[in-house]
Amino acid sequence: MESIQYDRFTSSESEIPEHMGPPPSTPNRQDRRIFIMFGVLSLFLLTLTLAVGIKFTQVSMQVSDLMESLDVVSTSIKVLQKGSSTYPELIIPVRGENPHPIVIYILLPLHSIIFNTKCVCVSYKGPCEDDWTFFKDKCYFASKLRKSWEDAEKNCVQRNAHLLVVNDAEEQDYISQVIEMGTNFWIGLVEREEGTWSWVDGTDYTKTKHFWDDGQPDNWDVRLNGEDCGQLHARSQVTHRPWNDADCSLAYKYICEGRPRRHQSHA
């Protein structure tokens, strides 16, 4: 009896499965993972392609700007080397506020070349004496020495000339190009009667264009002698309104103006 029960117990144990655990992965789940990975990779490649395309477009635009700029520079150099008395403005068309560094790297040396070439052209001597420059049938001399306004005018007269008389904007622009920046120069403006300005050569002051700096002439009464003589004011030369009234006894450099002729060579 006991033997039969033991055999049944043993027989029931042998019916238990040998392997227990989770069921193996199905093919559908593996395919889903592959599709997800493929989608992520495709999205990454699309984003990368768009980024490269945008960058390429930007570089192409900058190269186009550079070529246009080089054409402008080349044209300007050719005009300047011909000695033209009029100079086109150098316009560099660059899109955006910050041009590409390569544009700046290339254009800066070219800007220096143009500036130096322009200086040579505007300083053309022509039929004038040494140290004088020629512009529109007139000769100009910028002194290196400093004198009072009266002594400056006397020195110009000794050179068969007179202190500068500015007749129009073109002449003023030319003078602003050839004089030394950051320096005051006497010109042929004088206030012999209070409130009445005149040119030393008799040109009617009321019929010429004026280029007084803001608030000038102010006849600043701090100076003992007042301010009765005109000068090109150093700090205002870049504003195209460089005139200022000053004390005639002050020593400044000066600009003489005369007709083409032989001048005395001594300073």
Contact 210, 111 (CB under 8 A): no
| Domain range list for the chain | 34-122, 132-258
Q: What is the pLDDT of residues 156-179, one digit of tens each?
A: 999 999 999 999 999 999 998 888
Which of 109-113, 168-172, 228-232 is predicted with the least confidence, judged by mean pLDDT?
109-113
Kindly give, in sequence order, each residue whose CB lies less than 8 Å from that of residue 254, ignoring residues fewer than 6 positions away.
142, 143, 147, 149, 152, 153, 155, 156, 163, 164, 185, 186, 187
Contact 156, 254 (CB under 8 A): yes
Residue 138 DSSP code: E
* Average pLDDT value for residue range 102-131: 59
Confidence label for 65 from pLDDT (cuts 50, 70 and 90):
confident
Q: What is the pLDDT of residues 5-23, one digit of tens each?
A: 545 544 444 444 555 555 5
Contact 121, 113 (CB under 8 A): no
Helices (DSSP H) in 159-201: which residue ranges?
169-178
* Average pLDDT value for residue range 241-254: 93
Residue 266 DSSP code: -
* Average pLDDT value for residue range 231-239: 70
* H/E run at residue 135: strand 132-135
- Identify the residue with better confidence: 47 or 76: 47
For the domain made up of 132-258, give the CATH fold: Mannose-Binding Protein A; Chain A (3.10.100)
- Integer Cα distance of 7 and 247 in angstroms: 136
> Of 112, 75, 72, nearest to 91 (Cα)?
72
